Structures are given as C-alpha cells and as structure tokens.
Amino acid sequence: MRIYNTLTRKTEHLEIPASVGINLFVCGPTVYDYSHIGHARTYIFFDAFVKFLRKRLKMKINYLQNITDIDDKIIDRALEQNKSWSDISKTFYDEYKEDMASIGVDSVDTYAEATKYIPEMISQIERLIKKGFAYQSANSVYFDVRKFPDYGKLSRQKLADLKEGVRVEIEAGKKYFADFALWKASKENEPTWPSPWGEGRPGWHIEDTAITEKHFGPRYNIHGGGLDLIFPHHEAEIAQMESVSGLSPLAQIWIHTGMLMVNGEKMSKSLGNFVTIKDFLNENSPEVLRYIMLSSHYRSPLDFTKKSAEMAVSSISRIKDFAGRLEKIENQSPPFPVEEFTKEFWKHLEDDFSMPQAFGSLFELVKEANKFIDSHSLSKPDAQKIIDFISDVNDIFGILPKEEHAPDEITALAVDREKARKAGDFEKADELREKIKEFGWDIDDTSDGPRISKIK
Ligand code: AMP
C-alpha cells in the first residue's frame, strides 16, 4: 500500500508488517456543538481507510481518537447557555458518538477525553521546562518555538515567515509571538486544575501528545486529521513530543483530508454554512452521506452542493439494481473476467486510497456485467463472485443499505400476486400488493421480475 505523507510530501510505502500492527491517532472533535457533515468527511474517510487496512490488507490497527472536552469554545458556549462546561462537553460528546454510530463510523478502538489526562499533560510540561523548551510566565507556561529548530517542518514554513496574529494567538507574557500555551493560568469563570504553576487549564496542543504518549509511547505510525489542523496544531504536537523525547519523527506518516466546501469556502461552524449530520440524515440515508464523502479523493477539496445527494442516490441505485440482477442468475455460461475488474478496484485503493479511480473500476464492472446479463450470458458462479466482491466493498465503505430479507409469508404473498398478474387478474394482484404494504413491504416490478423491499 502506498499513501501520501504530508511530512515528506511524497507517496510512500506503508511498510509495517501486517502482524506487528499500526498505531493510528486521528484528531477528534471539540465537543461544544453538533457535528456537521464536514466532520463526517474526515471521519468517514478514516473509517473506510482503517476498514480497508484491516479487512483487505489484514493489518492490525490500533485506532485512537482524542475528544477535546475542555477549550475556549466549550467555556464560551457554557457561559452563553448558563450551563457548566462539563454539561456542554458531556452532551456533545454523547451526540458525537450517536452521530458516528448513525453513519456507520465504528472502527475507532479508543476515544480519549482530554480532561482524563491532566497528570500526563502536567508531566510533559514539566519535562519540557526541565529540558529548556518551555518557560513559565506569570502562572502560564509557553513552548519556546525558537528552541526547536524543526518548527515548521510539517507545514513547510520558516519561523521568520510567520506573521503575528495569523492563526497564532496574541497573548501578553509570551517571549515571542509564535510561542504557544502549554498551560493557561486560571481566569474568572473558567474550570481549573491544580498544577506546579498554580490553578489553570491545559493548552489545546498538549492534550494530544499526552494522550498518544500514554497509549503509544513517544513515536507511532500514523497521525491523521483534516488539512486545517496542519498549522499550528500538528506543528505544535511535533515540537512538544520531539523535544520531550529527543526522537524524530513523532509519527512516521501524516495523513490529511481535504475540506468539505460550500461555494468555495470550508464548511464550518464559524462561517455558519454547515449542515449537521442529524439534519442531513433527516432527509437522506447514511449510505448516501458515505457515498458522497468517499466518491472523491480524500486529499481533494470536496464541493457540497444541492445535487450531491441526488447524484449519490443514483449511483447507489445503479449498484443496488445490479446486485439485484446478480441474485437472480441461474444459467451456466462462458466465464466473465470478474477478477480483472476487482483487481483493478483494489489496486487503486492500494495507491493512495484513490477512490474516484476505484469507483471507476466498479462502475466499469457494473456496465460490462450488465451487458452479459442482458444477453443471458453471465454464469451463476461468476455472479456469485461479483456478489461476494460487492459485499466486501460494502463492509469497508458502507455505501449500500443492508438488505433485509422478506419473511416467508411476504414472499408467498408476492408469489401469489405475480401469479394473479400473469393470469390477468389485476384486481387480485392489487389487493395482494396492498396486503403486502400493510406488513411494511413493497413490490417493485423490474425487468428481471418483482423485487420485494422494506418500506422506509
Ligand atoms: P474540530 O471539531 O473543528 O476540531 O474538527 C474535528 C475534525 O474535523 C478535524 O480533523 C477537522 O480537520 C475536521 N473538519 C472540520 N471541518 C471540516 C470540513 N469542512 N471538511 C473536512 N474536515 C473537517
């Protein structure tokens, strides 16, 4: 498998023996509001990527995600709503878990809430001070970026080119404008924890390195997140952990997802151009959301428009109709080159997870095999191979609704209806269809015969 590494700006081999396993850390959400479908883009990609590594490449993956449950945004929201910060973070952490479950994101092994790692954060900050990489100012502690010569290596920026105020917090007490807070002195109305520097709370970046050091040690295999986190967040993580451990790189491979965009702008809470996962699912299925997110390359920006869902629905129907036709095949015919298509599909994924190309191979297979079915020349064993392939694809991508098989009595009613229809007794056929509907099922008369499906 080859994958693009932001750190080296190269597509590299993922050279980890399958049996040893991969430690993967992906930045989780700040839990102060409902998740939107921009978050879904990042988490659906990593979900499919992990499932692909596990199922197809048989790799062991230990997938860890942090939950930022203390942050300025959480405190502000709590003050606005006259609630405690922990009420806000607990509510939206629960909502996040519910949203992820509802869109089939179930590959994360461990969710780590930042506030459960305060002693680990304090320990890291103490070691940074001792080694001369951090300094105390009043009751806060800052990382001294000028002490870390590699600062900027991930985002390819030089310290001299950084501009004050551009994504770097301006704060009195810093020796240098680009220094960042490791520990923030307590302010009125803010939650605090005791520390060697007085009451206060941790900075954002230190939570991730404290969590990963605890679970994985000072170095690990893959770090992931959205492109928007490269600077300053991931840069700061590198500075912290590589300074503490003296080991480099913190993570061997850095994977970043492109942003979900609306009219050329990133979908985000602050711009107000977002659609929550819940609202999206009120009108669409989770499979439609997964299809939209997986149909473009994970590193490209993805434009979300009114047409996105329509297009996904029509692509999913094409695959579903095709799968329905395959189920009905009984004949023996000359072989169809199934593997030529399936090999192509998997090959594209092993090459930087190239979904558009992989879906291209999938639809090529649909087109060619449909032609064979039209001329009654697809054999049952070949149809079965394709059914198994589609099932593997769906285990990883979750783009097709899981078919519910109709109970025997519904199938029997459908058979009677078909008999009545064929005999020209349309009145009886309609009556039977209504009866079937009363049980929550419907019949679709396709060119390959009647298909029963559950009414949603
Ligand atoms: P946040 O809660 O803002 O820290 O975001 C959590 C994760 O979602 C991070 O990895 C972000 O990069 C990612 N994310 C946020 N907005 C978008 C977006 N519009 N498109 C893709 N990923 C996003």
pLDDT at 165 over 80: no
Q: What pLDDT band is residue 194 in, cutting at 50, 70 and 90? A: very high
> Cβ distance 243 to 28 under 8 Å?
no
Determine the distance separating the centroid of ligand 1 and the alpha carbon of 227, expressed in angstroms: 8
pLDDT band at 316 (very low <50, low <70, confident <90, very high): very high
What tokens were used for 82? 């006259």
Residues 6+ apart with CB under 8 A from 364: 341, 344
Q: Which amino acid does the sequence have at 202? A: P
Handedness of CA 360, 361, 365, 368 (dihedral sign): positive
The Cα–Cα gap between 261 and 52 comes to 26
β pairing state of 180-185 and 2-5: unpaired
Residues whose beta carbon lies within 6 Å of some atom of ligand 1? 27, 29-30, 38-39, 41-42, 225-226, 228-229, 257, 259-260, 266-268
Helix (H, G, I), strand (E, B) or coil at 223: strand
Which residue's entry shows tokens 């883009």?
41
Select from 37, 96, 111, 228 the residue to mutate for testing ligand 1; criterion: most ligand atoms less than 8 Å from CB.
228
- Residues with Cβ < 8 Å from 279, sequence gap 6 or more? none
Residue pair 30/19 in contact (Cβ under 8 Å)? The answer is: no
Probe target for ligand 1 pocket from 33, 37, 39, with the most ligand atoms within 8 Å of CB: 39
Q: Report cis status (omega within 30 of 0) of the bond before 407.
A: no
Q: How far apart are CA 296 and CA 146, in angstroms?
A: 39
pLDDT band at residue 455 under the 50/70/90 scheme: confident
The strand pairing partners of 184, in sequence order, are: 201
Q: What is the mean pLDDT of the chain?
A: 94
Rg from Cα positions in the chain: 27
What was the pLDDT predicted at 189? 85
| Cα 437 to ligand 1 centre (Å) | 42
Nearest CA to ligand 1 atom 8: 39
CA dist., res. 157 & res. 162, Å (int): 7
What are the pLDDT digits (tens) for 18-39? 678 999 999 999 999 999 999 9
Q: Whose CA is nearest to atom 12 of ligand 1?
A: 226
| CB 108, CB 123: distance < 8 Å | no
Instruction: Tell me the per-residue pLDDT of 226-262, one tens digit each, with 9 for 90 and over.
Output: 999 999 999 999 999 999 999 999 999 999 999 999 9
How far does the centroid of ligand 1 lie from the alpha carbon of residue 150, in Å? 26
Look at strands 260-262 and 302-303 and give their pairing: parallel
407 CA → ligand 1 middle, Å: 43
Taking a C-beta distance cutoff of 8 angstroms, is the pair 336, 330 a contact?
Answer: no
DSSP letters along 337-401, please?
A: -HHHHHHHHHHHHHBTT-HHHHHHHHHHHHHHHHHHHHTT---HHHHHHHHHHHHHHHHHH--SP
pLDDT band at 301 (very low <50, low <70, confident <90, very high): very high
- Residue 163 makes CB contacts below 8 A (sequence gap 6+) with none
Name the amino acid, one letter, at 86: S
Is the CB of residue 379 less than 8 Å from the CB of residue 335? yes
Question: Per-residue pLDDT averaged across 413-430, rounded?
Answer: 92
- Quote the pLDDT of residue 444: 84
Structure confidence by residue, pLDDT tens digits, 331-370: 778 889 999 999 999 999 999 999 999 999 999 999 999 9
Pairwise CA distance, residues 374 & 384, whole Å: 17
Answer yes or no: are the C-beta atoms of 182 and 207 closer than 8 Å: no
Question: Which atom of ligand 1 lies at the shortest distance from residue 43's CA?
Answer: 8
Q: What is the pLDDT of residue 407?
A: 81
Tokens representing 114 are: 């930042």
